Amino acid sequence: MARKRRNSDSQLLQPVAGNGLLDRRLLLKSGMVFAGAVTTGVGGIATRAAAEPLAVDPWSKTIGATVPGYSTPSHFEAKVVKTLGDATRPGTQQGRTPHQDIDGIITPNGVHFVVARAGAPDIDPEKHQLLIHGMVKQPLTFSYNDLLRYPMETHVRFIECGGNSAPMWSKTPIQANIQALHGLLSCSEWTGIRLSTLLDEAGIDPKATWMIAEGADGVTMNRSVPVAKAMDDAMIVFYQNGERIMPWNGYPMRLFLPGYEGNMNVKWLRRIKVTAEPTMTKDETSKYSDLQPNGRAKLFTFPMEVKSVITSPSGMQSMREPGLYQISGIAWSGFGRVRRVEISADGGKTFAEAALDGPVLPKALTRFRMPWRWDGSPSVLMSRAVDETGAVQPTRAALMTSRGAQFRYHYNAIQSWNVAQGGAVSNVYV
């Protein structure tokens, strides 16, 4: 039996696809087997140590910092922050998530991406109200504390800006890190109440098929939302990762539409008007509409399509030396769960299935991992996701052919990272 087990383990150390990709089951085996993969590779991980004990470092000889009222990361992590636009310029402000520096599927609140068109309003929750009116039997006004008395539920879900990955529409590859290219995406545990509960209480007119959601920010952001979505899984959320939503993400409450493009998840929610038709607001006509090759615009493409991206190694990083590495990344779909992620290390010539960290949740980020023995030669890394509807993440060439270069939203093509012989990682089109 032991011999069979050793033979089975040794098979996992054999490449399953071109350019050194190893069997995903290697990550599920014992640490001893993984260590065996290191010693049989072309480079190690750990530094060989002498028999002497470790030296006692200065921080072990003194009393450490006292506990603060609200904990923040170590000062050694000071560079793990959102990248910000020029706050002195009028117009939309953005803060992008540093996916190259975080792991798992939950985005810390402090680095959750932000798109704010007039900054974050300073809203007193004791004075804030939510109005539901329009095509309803009885208009209703709720205080913040009124809403907190309704049944709460919690879900892990992603939010992605409709304009995320917009730099990838460029004719030539923009050399930047994943934060700059794909940083308008985050995933959190959201807690709140079902919107359908409030709409049922108000009593929707059967002829109503749309509603408009309006925020309390300085530009009164508003979007039309199908009533069908509102009565399905839409929520009004108050908590993010266990604490009250931060001001830049909608404090004290925001609309949450799982799987739909980020701008529809209206922050600082103050009003919902039930209507018979879409309102055709400036935010859904002047932008967030998809220009077609024939010059016509396609409206209301709400769900974010299946997508994945390798976060490590990724753009602007560098491989230190040949040896065993773990390829890691995130995949998601606005249509449900991620079913499978495949990895290529040879520019798409061959693919192998990656391991998915569980649990795999609907409309949430899914972390994938793949063992890779890099021999130091030039490589092109790619990830390709498939969701539970059977939709497959397209190549960039296929996406450009179907949508045209004038498109600006919903970019979900395969991201390719070129690993040069010296280890430098860069954005490349394949």
Residues listed for the chain: 430
CA 302 to chain centre: 16
Amino acid occupying residue 319: M
Identify whether the C-beta of residue 343 lies closer than 8 Å to the C-beta of residue 370: yes
Please report, as a single letter, which amino acid is at residue 59: W
Instruction: Judge contact between 350 and 342, C-beta under 8 A.
Output: no
Looking at residue 7, what is its pLDDT? Answer: 56
Task: DSSP for 50-89, please give it.
Answer: -SSPPPPPGGGSS--PPPPSS----GGGTT-S-EE--TTS
CATH architecture of 115-175+184-288: Alpha-Beta Complex (3.90)
Q: What does the pLDDT average to over 243-263?
A: 97
Token pair of 142, please? 């709720």
Average pLDDT over residues 408-416: 96
Q: Is the peptide bond before 313 cis (omega within 30 degrees of 0)?
A: yes
DSSP classification of residue 322: S
Domain positions in the chain = 115-175+184-288
Residue 92: its pLDDT value, please? Answer: 80
Give the pLDDT confidence score for residue 13 in this predicted structure.
83
Backbone angles phi, psi at 309, to 5 degrees: -155, 140
Whether residue 5 is predicted with pLDDT greater than 90 in this model: the reply is no
- Nearby residues of 391 by Cβ (< 8 Å), 6 or more positions away: 305, 306, 333, 335
- Nearest CA to 331 out of 385, 369, 370 is that of 385
pLDDT 10s digits, 101-118: 999 999 999 999 999 988
Query: Which pTM does this prediction carry?
Result: 0.94
| DSSP H stretches of helix in 226-274 | 227-230
**pLDDT at residue number 87:** 64
What confidence score (pLDDT) does residue 1 get? 44
Element (H, E) at 2: helix 2-12
Residue 3: the pLDDT is: 46
Render pLDDT for 92-103 as a digit per residue (tens, 0 to 9).
Answer: 889 999 999 999
**Weakest mean pLDDT among 35-39, 112-116, 126-130:** 35-39
Pair type for strands 254-256 and 185-194: unpaired
What is the C-alpha to C-alpha distance for residues 194 and 189, in angstroms, rounded to an integer? 15
- Decide: 156 and 188 in contact? Cβ < 8 Å: yes
Phi, psi of 153 (to 5 degrees): -145, 160
Strand, helix or coil at 318?
strand
Sorted by sequence, the CB contacts under 8 Å of residue 305 that are 6+ apart come out as 333, 334, 335, 391, 410, 412
Of the two residues 104 and 37, the one the predictor is more confident about is 104
Determine the pLDDT at residue 307: 98
Ramachandran region, residue 123 (left: φ > 0; alpha: ψ -120 to 50; beta: rest): beta
Mean pLDDT, the chain, whole residue set: 92
Of 49 and 326, the structure prediction assigns the larger pLDDT to 326
Q: Please write the tens of the pLDDT for every residue from 258-310.
A: 999 999 999 999 999 999 999 999 888 888 888 888 888 888 999 999 999 99
189/12: higher pLDDT: 189
* Token code pair at residue 34: 């993984």
